[in-house]
Amino acid sequence: MRLSAYFLPTLKDTPTEAQILSHRLMLRAGMIRQTSAGIYAWLPLGHRVLRKIEQIVRSEQDAAGAVELLMPTVQSAELWRASGRYEDYGKEMLRIRDRHDREMLYGPTAEEVITDIVKGTLKSYRDLPRTLYNIQWKFRDEIRPRFGVMRGREFLMKDAYSFDLDFAGAKRAYQKMFLAYLRTFARMGIRAIPMKADSGPIGGDMSHEFIILADTGESAVFCDRRWVEWDVLASAPAYDQDLEPFFADATGIYAATEEKHNPDTCPLPAEQLVTARGIEVGHIFYFGTKYSKPLGAVVAGPDGNPVTLEMGSYGIGVSRLVAAVIEASHDDAGIIWPESVAPFKVGLINLKSGDAACDKVCADLYDVLRTAQVEVLYDDREERPGVKFADMDLIGLPWQLVVGPRGLKAGTVELKNRATGERLELSQDSALERLTS
Ligand code: ATP
Ligand code: MG
């Protein structure tokens, strides 16, 4: 992509309305634009990151055996009356009336819809287990939308729902998602710690929030120091293996949200306890027959008798993750994208646009990179080098390839690693080799 033909409204000044760093950086880097309170348009650069994150989430859901579908954003109130949640959900639900005066709503979550879809389609125990997911916009009329896309009103969520015959099956589905979540977040370069969370009236230990530690987090969290150092995935099994030992190990290491943590019963010695703030990026939840029972979702069991489906639901805040990754990876100059979610891999900087030699070399490098399927943003604008460097640091692409008249005379270009700051003077060929290998 040539920057001269792109849409990247970067800001020099720090927007005063933004209270946390990721929000400021997303506005300054031209990633999002607020259109109403808590509602954002994703500008091209932000949109690319959102799609990258979505794709990682999708591929790990698929690997764990979940099956993708797409449910509508607008739902009927009727289903929510049947589950008993229509009145309970309160003011966070955006209620809508259609032209026939029918009550509709913009879905804040989709347990009712998915249960209604599988009802009568999953007919027998032989149709189980099944986990279905979608990646769809949700709306929650948050009392205090803030921190940009971190707590928006409209946000993109991956929500999966598992259906099983019995508790043992539901537990296995839960453990698969538990592992899939660890893999998902690790691929984005962030450490999300599964923390015991409030599991409501059902109780048990089958509710975990996945939380990344960050000073700007909205909730207080408590965990064993080992979580901060431990590479939990080093010993992770494959999905078709017995997941119980891994799950027992991982959940045996203390980590709890504020609601669950009790200083009086916490098993950790003080020096082993990390007290921090955290951002919730995912939440997994077992809830038995809470929705399947009122909605009548049953299958025929092995003996022919009807069995009410055992369910769990599993959310990931896809749009929140864009901000969370930034909170975890930045410096004074701007964002530092992990390569897996970067909007482009390389920023090609022409220090002297209009100079025949620089233009020619840049055009060649740009072509070679694109042919090799390397995502490259070419800053071909007629701007001062200082502006180009500052913008490129701000938007945080992993690599900067810098072409200027002085280097060209010596036969070199400069390759800068955004994360480490390391700069190398290289021939064009060896720079290209590093970027395409
Ligand atoms: P929170 O405690 O932050 O309000 P929640 O418990 O209501 O979140 P869930 O219902 O578990 O959220 O939703 C699944 C995921 O969706 C959350 O883990 C979070 O990452 C994301 N999410 C929830 N609410 C928002 C929001 N207002 N803006 C952006 N992402 C959100
Ligand atoms: Mg939650």
What are the domain boundaries of the chain?
3-335, 346-436
CA of 33 from ligand 2 middle (Å) equals: 26
Q: What percent of the chain has pLDDT over 90?
A: 95
For residue 279, give the ligand nearest its CA.
1
The yes-or-no verdict on residue 204 having pLDDT over 80 is: no
Looking at the whole model, is its pTM more than 0.95? yes
The yes-or-no verdict on residue 205 having pLDDT over 70 is: no
Mean pLDDT of the chain: 96
The predicted structure's pLDDT at residue 413: 98
The yes-or-no verdict on residue 238 having pLDDT over 90 is: yes
| Nearest-angstrom CA–CA distance, 244 and 237 | 10
The predicted structure's pLDDT at residue 166: 97
- Quick one: pLDDT band at residue 17, thresholds 50, 70, 90? confident
Q: Who's near 120: CB < 8 A, 6+ residues apart?
A: none
Q: Kindly state the average pLDDT of the residues 64-73.
A: 98
Tokens of 50: 């959102």
Residue 51 DSSP one-character state: H
Architecture of domain 346-436: 3-Layer(aba) Sandwich (3.40)
Smallest CA separation from ligand 1 atom 21, residue: 317
The H helix count followed by the E strand count for the chain is 14, 23
Smallest CA separation from ligand 1 atom 12, residue: 283
For residue 39, give the ligand nearest its CA.
1
Dihedral sign of CA atoms 178, 181, 183, 189 in order: negative
The predicted structure's pLDDT at residue 16: 87
The predicted structure's pLDDT at residue 173: 98
- Quick one: pLDDT band at residue 201, thresholds 50, 70, 90? low
Residues touching ligand 1 (Cβ under 6 Å) are 109, 140, 142, 151-152, 155, 157, 280-283, 315, 317, 319-320
Peptide bond into 343 cis (omega under 30): no
Q: Judge whether 276 and 227 are in contact, CB under 8 Å.
A: no
CA nearest neighbour of 257 among 234, 279, 227: 279
Q: Which of 157, 158, 211 to mutate to test the pocket of ligand 1 (most atoms within 8 A of CB)?
A: 157
CA of 317 from ligand 1 middle (Å) equals: 6
CA of 158 from ligand 1 middle (Å) equals: 11
| Nearest-angstrom CA–CA distance, 23 and 17 | 9
| Nearest-angstrom CA–CA distance, 8 and 43 | 8
For residue 219, give the ligand nearest its CA.
1
Total Cβ atoms within 10 A of residue 397: 24
Tokens of 344: 């482009």
Q: Which CATH number applies to 3-335?
A: 3.30.930.10
CA of 58 from ligand 1 middle (Å) equals: 18
The yes-or-no verdict on residue 200 having pLDDT over 70 is: no
Q: Which of 134, 320, 327 to mutate to test the pocket of ligand 1 (most atoms within 8 A of CB)?
A: 320
Q: Which atom of ligand 1 is nearest to the CA of 140?
A: 27
Q: Kindly state the average pLDDT of the residues 206-225.
A: 95
CA nearest neighbour of 416 among 437, 429, 433, 435: 435
Smallest CA separation from ligand 1 atom 14, residue: 315
- Quick one: pLDDT band at residue 412, thresholds 50, 70, 90? very high
Query: What string of DSSP letters covers 99-159?
Result: TT--EEEE-S--HHHHHHHHBTTB-BGGG--EEEEEEEEEE---SS-BTGGGB-SEEEEEE
Task: Give the angle subtended at the CA of 111 by the CAs of 108 and 115, to the nearest 5°.
Answer: 145
- Condensed to tens digits (0 to 9), the pLDDT of residues 114-137 reads 999 999 899 999 999 999 999 999
Q: What percent of the chain has pLDDT over 70?
A: 99
Q: Kindly state the average pLDDT of the residues 276-285.
A: 97
The predicted structure's pLDDT at residue 198: 80
For residue 153, give the ligand nearest its CA.
1
CA of 318 from ligand 1 middle (Å) equals: 10
CA of 157 from ligand 1 middle (Å) equals: 8
- Quick one: pLDDT band at residue 175, thresholds 50, 70, 90? very high
| Nearest-angstrom CA–CA distance, 423 and 407 | 13
Smallest CA separation from ligand 1 atom 1, residue: 280
| Nearest-angstrom CA–CA distance, 344 and 376 | 5
Q: Which atom of ligand 1 is nearest to the CA of 285?
A: 11
Q: Which run of H or E residues covers position 281?
A: strand 273-288
